[in-house]
Amino acid sequence: MTAGPTDAGPTAGGDEGPGAVAARLTGRPVTGERRLSSALAEVTLDGGRTVMVKRGDDPGAVRAEAAGLRWLADAGTVRLPAVHGQDGRWLVMDRVASGRPGAAAADRLGRDLAALHTAGAPAFGAPPPGGPQDATIGLAPMRNVPGTDWPRWYGEYRVLPYLRRAVDDGTVRPAEAAVIEQVVERLPDLAGPAEPPARLHGDLWNGNVLWGADGHAWLIDPAAHGGHRETDLAMLHLFGCPHLDRVLDGYQDAAPLADGWADRIGLHQLFPLLVHTVLFGRGYAEQALAASRAALATT
């Protein structure tokens, strides 16, 4: 009997190659394989469909990515590669044929992001259904602990854990940490109007936006959770995005942001900046300090 797409147990996969994994998790014969890196391959299935086969060392991270892709796709808004199967080491999903960034695609991305965020989440910090509480963002750990108050939740679970790690590593000095801690203390005043929990991509930097050959923008590699919608937009600002002005125009047309949102971009960037501080060092610590000082100067 031919098996259908599956989520196999955590020990499945063994020492299989990407082609064997794709065949097992999709139930389809494989006709071609091309390695892109030690952790990523393109595999062609019988019938011509090409899938990406991605290997991860952390079973929780693989599970979180698969659950995140499915949860975001359930909103029926942004375009994401379909998941065809996963186990403790492997994730099989559609390949997105690459194209070029365009203004029209950027406008649609903004509108689709607004609709995704509006789809909501049960709570701030809520993980995707079937996703683990202990997830990852890039190579850093990220805990999805639900909360009802965004300022308190953001400080406790998105700022302070990475700040403490950076201080322990010697990347942020104690006197500098005090500046960021002051931002956390003042979050209720700095956060702007209360917002309901949004369904976030969670790691929305330019590298996770693929401009498809079909003329649409596609999102990959989520760190999905319930959060504040301005956080996804702040991430796009942090590392740049083609036609970002058109993305924002489309977003604002569909779901206008609260007054003062542009002044809060740095506040929402504290989370990814501190993650990058932990992963990559001092340069990002200085950016986090600059963002903190700017936030404190707004009131």
Point out the domain boundary residue: 73, 94, 115: 94
Section 68-82 average pLDDT: 98
- Specify whether the CB–CB gap between 47 and 88 falls below 8 A: no
Residue 1, domain member (yes or no): no
Q: In the predicted model, is pLDDT for residue 240 greater than 60?
A: yes
Q: Which domain holds residue 137?
A: 103-296
Section 280-294 average pLDDT: 97
Same domain, 76 and 200: no
Query: Among residues of the chain, what percentage have pLDDT more than 70?
Result: 95
Same domain, 74 and 116: no
Give the confidence band of 13 by pLDDT, cuts at 50, 70, 90.
very low
Which CATH number do you get for residue 276? 3.90.1200.10
Tens-place pLDDT, residues 199-222:
999 999 999 999 999 999 999 999
Catalytic (active site) residue 74: no
Question: Mean pLDDT over all residues of the chain?
Answer: 93
Q: Which of 112, 203, 221, 232 is catalytic?
A: 203
Same domain, 138 and 74: no
| pLDDT of 139 | 86
Q: Based on C-alpha coordinates, what's the Rg of the chain?
A: 20
Which tokens is 183 given?
């931002």
Residue 49, domain member (yes or no): yes
| pLDDT of 15 | 72
Q: How many domains does the chain have?
A: 2
Same domain, 205 and 87: no
Residue 240, domain member (yes or no): yes
Q: In the predicted model, is pLDDT for residue 10 greater than 50?
A: no
Cβ neighbours of 245 (radius 10 Å): 12
Q: What is the pTM of this model?
A: 0.92
Tens-place pLDDT, residues 92-123:
999 999 999 999 999 999 999 999 999 999 99
